[in-house]
Amino acid sequence: MAALQDYRCVIALLDARHFGRAAERLGVTQPALTARLRRLEAELQVRLFERGRAGVEPTAAGLVFAEGAQRVLDAAEEAAEAALGVQQGYGQTLRIGMTQIAAYQVVPQCLSAFRRENPMARIRLVEGTTASLEAMLEQRRIDAAFLHPPLHAADLSEKMLTTVALARFNAGDDSVGDALIRYPRSEAPVLMAALGRQQAVDDGHGHGPAEADTMLGAAVLSQAGYGAFVAPVDFPHASSVGVNPARGKARQGDLETSLAWRSLDRRPVIRSLINAVGLVEAD
């Protein structure tokens, strides 16, 4: 059975790609690290790393093992923090994810309401895209998330919070015509779906749209002259980029925001968060 130190060694090797640097990071000798890895690979009957003159590279099996090892280390750290928190008089640590949009729309109000009812609970806030946060919920890396439906995992529940119109913004000039800055479809399927046929029309103009992982990045690209981008009408940077009214294409659909959690997670702390969200919604 692998020990936590085995997992730490694998992660260190994955990051450093070199036995000497990984050993230094772990505070052990290089022969000790090599011996530990050999014992682990023998126990698993799997080769985790390929050795070479330039260093080490993870195998396909090594990458899969490292992903699980990181989850184990994260869980162990959280368990230790939770135990220490209880001893110090604090409650559970609630791991909450949020998108950049939800961060300015609803998260501060919801967490403020939650804090009033749970002053001793600890919060760990994680930022991500809807796709990445949904995956983290499934993997139990976070407990709840403020994101944008529709959800694709069958074992998640959600509570709708708000709906806002999407609009077309342009911070640059009109020299790029109708070009739209893209969002990665795998990370922002809701926004890409909202663009719909308009994206195909823009692509047909022969322009090579730029791409950004976040709307802040899209705003920067727009200011640099790469084209227009789609964002909620209440996007905080709207005052500096402004909706371009010339084309009459400001409205691009709607974007919903919800709180999602695992359906089978019936812990009181989760129920308290859901109730806090309901109080904000009622206000």
Helix (H/G/I), strand (E/B), else coil: 49: strand
CATH number, domain at 227? 3.40.190
Which CATH number characterizes residue 116's domain?
Answer: 3.40.190.10
200 and 268, same domain (yes or no)? no
238 with 220, same domain?
A: yes
More confident residue, 130 or 244: 130
Last residue of a domain, one of 51, 85, 119: 85
User: Both ends of the chain: CA-CA distance in Å?
Assistant: 52
Are residues 266 and 151 located together in one domain of the fold? yes
187: pLDDT strictly greater than 90? no
Assess whether 108 and 27 both reside in one domain. Answer: no
Confidence check: pLDDT of 245 > 50: no
| Integer angstrom CA distances of residue 185 from 108, 192, 201, 204 | 28, 6, 17, 18
Q: 70 Cβ partners below 8 Å, 6+ apart?
A: 7, 11
Residue 155, token pair as written in the block: 């074992």
Domains identified in the chain, total number: 3
Structural domain of residue 144, as residue ranges?
90-162+257-282
pLDDT tens digits along 190-213: 666 655 544 444 444 434 568 887
- Same-domain pairing of 63 and 9: yes
Q: How far is CA 92 from CA 116, 119, 141, 163, 169, in A?
A: 15, 11, 15, 31, 42
What pLDDT is stored for residue 201 in this prediction? 45
Mark whether 181 and 100 lie in a shared domain. no
CATH number at residue 79: 1.10.10.10
Instruction: Read off the pTM.
Output: 0.64
Predicted confidence (pLDDT) per residue in 121-147, tens digit: 889 999 998 989 999 999 888 999 999
- CA gap 176, 223 in Å, rounded: 12
Which of 85, 104, 119 is the endpoint of a domain?
A: 85
